A and B are shown apart, each in its own frame.
Chain A
Amino acid sequence: MNESLSTRRLVTRLLLVVVAMFAFGFALVPIYEVMCQAFGINGKTAGAYGGTQAVDEQRQVRVQFLATNAAGMSWEFRPQADEVTVHPGASTQMLFVAHNPTGQPMTAQAIPSVAPSKAAAYFHKTECFCFTQQVLQPGERIEMPVRFIVDRDLPADVQHLTLAYTLFDITARKPPVAQVSR
Chain B
Amino acid sequence: MSAVIDSHQGQAHSDHHHGPAKGLMRWVLTTNHKDIGTLYLWFSFAMFLLGGSMAMVIRAELFQPGLQIVQPEFFNQMTTMHGLIMVFGAVMPAFVGLANWMIPLMIGAPDMALPRMNNFSFWLLPAAFTLLVSTLFSEGGGPNFGWTFYAPLSTTYAPESVTFFIFAVHLMGISSIMGAINVIATILNLRAPGMTLMKMPLFVWTWLITAFLLIAVMPVLAGCVTMMLMDVHFGTSFFSAAGGGDPVLFQHVFWFFGHPEVYIMILPAFGAVSSIIPAFARKPLFGYTSMVYATASIAFLSFIVWAHHMFTVGIPLTGELFFMYATMLIAVPTGVKVFNWASTMWQGSMTFETPMLFSVAFVILFTIGGFSGLMLAIAPADFQYHDTYFVVAHFHYVLVPGAIFGIFASAYYWLPKWTGHMYDETLAKLHFWMSFIGMNLAFFPMHFVGLAGMPRRIPDYNMMFANFNMVSSIGAFMFGATQLLFLFIVIKCIRGGQPAAAKPWDGAEGLEWTVPSPAPYHTFQTPPDVK
With known contacts A10-B189, A118-B316, A28–B244 Cβ distance under 8 A: no
Segment touching B, from A1-9, A97-105, A144-152: A1-9
A168 touches B241 (CB 8 A): yes
**Contact among A7, A23, A26, A117 with B227 in the assembled complex (CB-CB below 8 Å):** A26
Segment touching B, from A13-21, A55-63, A87-95: A13-21
Query: Is A84 part of the contact surface with B, judged by Cβ < 8 Å?
Result: no
Whose C-beta in chain A lies nearest to the C-beta of B9? A4
A170 touches B249 (CB 8 A): no
B217 touches A21 (CB 8 A): yes
Whose C-beta in chain A lies nearest to the C-beta of B113? A7
B113 touches A179 (CB 8 A): no
A25 touches B1 (CB 8 A): no
Total interface residues in chain B, CB < 8 Å = 42
A-facing mask of B227-270, CB < 8 A → 1, else 0?
A: 10000000101100111111011001100100000000000000
Name the B residues within 8 Å of A24 (CB-CB).
219-220, 223
**Contact among B216, B222, B243 with A17 in the assembled complex (CB-CB below 8 Å):** B216
B219 touches A21 (CB 8 A): yes
Complex Cα–Cα for A179 and B14 (A): 65
Whose C-beta in chain B lies nearest to the C-beta of A17? B215
With known contacts A117-B316, A118-B316, A173-B243, A21–B216 Cβ distance under 8 A: yes
With known contacts A39-B316, A170-B242, A28–B219 Cβ distance under 8 A: no
Give min CB distance, B401 to chain A, whole Å.
31
Query: Is A156 part of the contact surface with B, judged by Cβ < 8 Å?
Result: no
Whose C-beta in chain B lies nearest to the C-beta of A31? B252
A21 touches B215 (CB 8 A): yes
Name the A residues within 8 Å of B222 (CB-CB).
22, 25
Whose C-beta in chain B lies nearest to the C-beta of A25? B223
Segment touching A, from B49-57, B177-185, B332-340: B177-185
Q: Which of chain A's residues 111-154 have a Cβ closer than 8 Å to chain B?
A: 111, 117-118
Query: Is B315 part of the contact surface with A, judged by Cβ < 8 Å?
Result: yes
B189 touches A3 (CB 8 A): yes
Query: Is B464 part of the contact surface with A, judged by Cβ < 8 Å?
Result: no
A-B interface pairs (CB < 8 A), number:
112
Total interface residues in chain A, CB < 8 Å = 44
Name the A residues within 8 Å of B1 (CB-CB).
3
Whose C-beta in chain A lies nearest to the C-beta of B224? A25
Name the A residues within 8 Å of B316 (CB-CB).
39-41, 117-118
Query: Is B127 part of the contact surface with A, judged by Cβ < 8 Å?
Result: no
A11 touches B181 (CB 8 A): yes
Query: Is B114 part of the contact surface with A, judged by Cβ < 8 Å?
Result: yes
With known contacts A4-B4, A182-B244, A42–B185 Cβ distance under 8 A: no
A25 touches B314 (CB 8 A): no
Name the B residues within 8 Å of A177 (CB-CB).
243
With known contacts A7-B185, A41-B316, A118-B316, A180–B241 Cβ distance under 8 A: no
B189 touches A29 (CB 8 A): no
Whose C-beta in chain A lies nearest to the C-beta of B220? A25
B219 touches A19 (CB 8 A): yes
Whose C-beta in chain A lies nearest to the C-beta of B235? A173
Whose C-beta in chain B lies nearest to the C-beta of A20? B219
Give min CB distance, B69 to chain A, whole Å.
29
A-facing mask of B187-226, CB < 8 A → 1, else 0?
A: 0111000000000000000000000000111111111101
Query: Is A166 part of the contact surface with B, judged by Cβ < 8 Å?
Result: yes
Name the A residues within 8 Å of B219 (CB-CB).
18-19, 21-22, 24-25
Complex Cα–Cα for A168 and B242 (A): 5
With known contacts A22-B219, A24-B220, A26-B223, A10–B188 Cβ distance under 8 A: yes
Name the B residues within 8 Å of A178 (CB-CB).
243-244
Complex Cα–Cα for A7 and B4 (A): 10
With known contacts A3-B189, A6-B189, A10-B189, A42–B246 Cβ distance under 8 A: yes
**Contact among A10, A18, A176, A179 with B177 in the assembled complex (CB-CB below 8 Å):** A18
A-facing mask of B451-485, CB < 8 A → 1, else 0?
A: 00000000000000000000000000000000000
Query: Is A158 part of the contact surface with B, judged by Cβ < 8 Å?
Result: no
Complex Cα–Cα for A171 and B1 (A): 64
Complex Cα–Cα for A137 and B181 (A): 58
With known contacts A18-B219, A28-B252, A166-B241, A10–B224 Cβ distance under 8 A: no
**Contact among A3, A19, A109 with B243 in the assembled complex (CB-CB below 8 Å):** A109
Whose C-beta in chain B lies nearest to the C-beta of A178? B244
Interfacial residues, chain B to chain A (CB-CB below 8 A) = 1, 4, 113-114, 177, 180-181, 184-185, 188-190, 215-224, 226-227, 235, 237-238, 241-246, 248-249, 252-253, 256, 314-316, 319
Q: List 11 A-B contacts (CB under 8 A).
A: A3-B190, A14-B215, A28-B252, A29-B238, A32-B246, A36-B246, A41-B316, A70-B241, A177-B243, A178-B244, A179-B245
The list of the 4 closest CB pairs from A to B, nearest first, reads: A25-B223, A168-B242, A21-B219, A22-B219
